[in-house]
Amino acid sequence: MFDPFAQDEGKAMSHLVWKSGERECVFKGPIFDICKVKRESSDGRIASFIEVDAPLWVTVIPWFRDKSGVARFVMVDQFRHGSATITREFPAGVVEKGEDPLVAALRELKEEAGLEGGTVTALGNVSPNSAFMNNRSYFYLVEQASHTSGQELDENEQLDVLSVPVADVLRDLGTGIYDNGIMCIALFFFLREAGKRPYLMQ
C-alpha cells in the first residue's frame, strides 16, 4: 500500500510518463487552438486527451517609489470577457510568434502603461495550467520605469492605468477585483524576489 506521508527521496518518476502519439487540431481560434492528443501510459492504457495550444504569456510588475517614499505598483483596470467582470492586474499580454518574451513584456508595458526604461529582472516562468494547456507564462519586475508616452492599445482593448501601494496589493490580491489567478502567480514571484530585497515591500 502506498504511503501518503512518505517524503520525497528523489525516486524515479519515469513510470508516470505517458508517451505521446497522434496529434490532431480540432479547433483553430483567434487566441488558442484545441488539439486532441493520443497518449499511452507505462502500464499500457491508451486514451485521447485535450490540449489547449496557446501562445506564451508575459506579465510585467512595474515597481516604483513615489515622492513620499511609498513603494507602489503600476496596475491596470479592465473588463475581462471570461469572467464578465472588471479586474485589476499588472500589465500583461501575449508573446507574438518569434518574439522574445522579454521584448514582449517591455512592449506590453509601453503599450498599456506608457512606461519605458528602468531596471528589469526576470523572475521566472511557469505552466499556467499544466492539466490541459501547453504554454508558459513569463514574469518580469521592472523598477523605476519612466512615463514616456500615451497608450497604444489593441482595437478592442480598453483599460485605465493607476498606481497602488505595494502593501495594499499584498493585502487584497486574490479578492474582489484582484482575483486574476495569473496575477497571484506574479505576486508569488515578486515576494520571492522581495525575500532577497526586502526594501521592495517597504
CB atoms within 10 A of CB 164: 14
Does any domain span residue 5? no
User: Could you report the per-residue pLDDT of 90-143, keeping only the tens digit for each?
Assistant: 999 999 999 999 999 999 999 999 999 999 999 999 999 999 999 999 999 999
Residue 12 binned pLDDT confidence (cut-offs 50, 70, 90) = confident
Mean pLDDT value of segment 49-74: 98
Q: Domain check: are 88 and 176 in the same one?
A: yes
Domain count, the chain: 2
Q: Domain check: are 95 and 77 in the same one?
A: yes
pLDDT for 8 equals 86
Is the confidence at residue 181, as pLDDT, over 80? yes
Does any domain span residue 8? no
Domain range for 24 is 14-53
Residues 6+ apart with CB under 8 A from 89: 59, 75, 76, 78, 180, 182, 183
Mean pLDDT of the chain: 96
Q: Domain check: are 67 and 153 in the same one?
A: yes
Q: Domain check: are 92 and 187 in the same one?
A: yes
pLDDT for 3 equals 87
Does any domain span residue 116? yes
Q: Domain check: are 81 and 149 in the same one?
A: yes
